[in-house]
Chain A
Amino acid sequence: MPEAMDASPGAAAGGLAGRLWRGLRLPLGDPLAVFGLMIYVLFILTAVFADQLATHDPTEILYTPDYDLAADRRPGEDGYILGTTSLGRDIWSQLVYGSRSALLIGLTAAVMVALIGTLVGLVAGYFGGWVDAVLMRLADIAFGIPFLPFVIVLSAFLEPSIWNVVLAMALVLWRDTGRVIRSQVLSLRTRAYVEAARVCGSSDLKIVFRHIAPNILPLSFLYGSIAIGWAILTEASISFLGFGDPDTISWGTMLQDAYASQALSTRAFHWFVPPGLCIILVVVAGFLVSRGYEEILFPKLKE
Chain B
Amino acid sequence: MTRMFRMAAAAMLLAGAASSALAAGDRIRELKLITRPQAAQPSEFQFAQIIAQEWRKLGLDVKVEVMPWEQMADVVWYNRDKWDMTAWQMVGRPERSDPDELLYNLYHSSTSAKGYNFVGYSNPDYDRVAEAQRREVDQEKRRALVFRAQEILAADQPVMMLVHPRSTFAFDKTVWDPASVVNQGGIGIKNFWTFVSIRPLGGQRDIVLNSSDNVQGINPLWISGGTDSWITELVWDRLLRIGPDGLPRPWAAENWEWTSPTSITVTLRPGQVWHDGKPLTAEDVRFSFEAAMGGEAPMYAPFVRNIAAIDVDGDRITFTLKEPSAAFLTSTLAKINLIPKHVWEPVLADLATREENAESHQEKMPIGSGPFRFVSWTTNEEVVLEANRGHWSAPAADRWILRIVPNAEAALGMLRSGQINFLADFPGDPKVLVDAAAADGDLEVVSTTDIGFRYVAFNNRRAPFGDPAFRRALSSAVSRELIVKAAFKGFAEPSNSIVSPALPFWHDPAVDNMPTGLDLARQILSEAGYELVGGKLHYPDGVRETLAE
Binding site for B on A (CB under 8 A): 59, 61, 63, 65-69, 71, 86-88, 156, 160, 239, 242, 244, 246-247, 256-257, 259-262, 264-266
Contact = CB atoms under 8 A, between A and B. Distances in A.
A66 B435 CA distance: 24
A244 B50 CA distance: 22
Nearest to A70: B486
A256 B37 CA distance: 12
Q: Which of B1, B407, B436, B486 has the most CB of A within 10 A?
A: B486
B412 interface: yes
Contacts of A68: 485-486
A246 B66 contact: yes
A244 B40 CA distance: 11
B66 A265 contact: no
A17 B20 CA distance: 75
28 contacts: A61-B50, A65-B1, A66-B1, A67-B482, A68-B486, A69-B486, A86-B429, A87-B38, A87-B46, A156-B68, A160-B68, A239-B39, A246-B37, A246-B39, A246-B66, A256-B39, A257-B38, A259-B407, A260-B39, A261-B428, A262-B429, A262-B432, A264-B409, A264-B413, A265-B412, A265-B413, A266-B432, A266-B435
Q: Which of A63, A65, A244 has the most CB of B within 10 A?
A: A63
Interface in B293-327: none
Given A67-B1, A160-B66, A259-B407, A246 B45 contact: yes
Q: Which of B39, B40, B409, B479 has the most CB of A within 10 A?
A: B39
A103 B323 CA distance: 67
Nearest to B482: A67
B486 A88 contact: yes
Contacts of B262: none
Contacts of B489: 71
B264 interface: no
A193 B436 CA distance: 73
B37 A61 contact: no
Contacts of A71: 489
Contact of A242 (B40, B46, B429): B40
A281 B53 CA distance: 36
Interface string B401-412: 000000111001
Contacts of B40: 242
Interface in B422-442: 428-429, 432, 435-436
Contact of A261 (B2, B42, B50, B485): B42
A61 B49 contact: yes
Contacts of B49: 59, 61
A71 B487 CA distance: 11
A160 B489 CA distance: 28
B408 to A, nearest CB: 6
Interface in B96-119: none
A244 B37 CA distance: 9
A244 to B, nearest CB: 7
A262 B413 CA distance: 10
Contacts of B68: 156, 160
B409 A265 contact: yes
A262 B486 contact: no
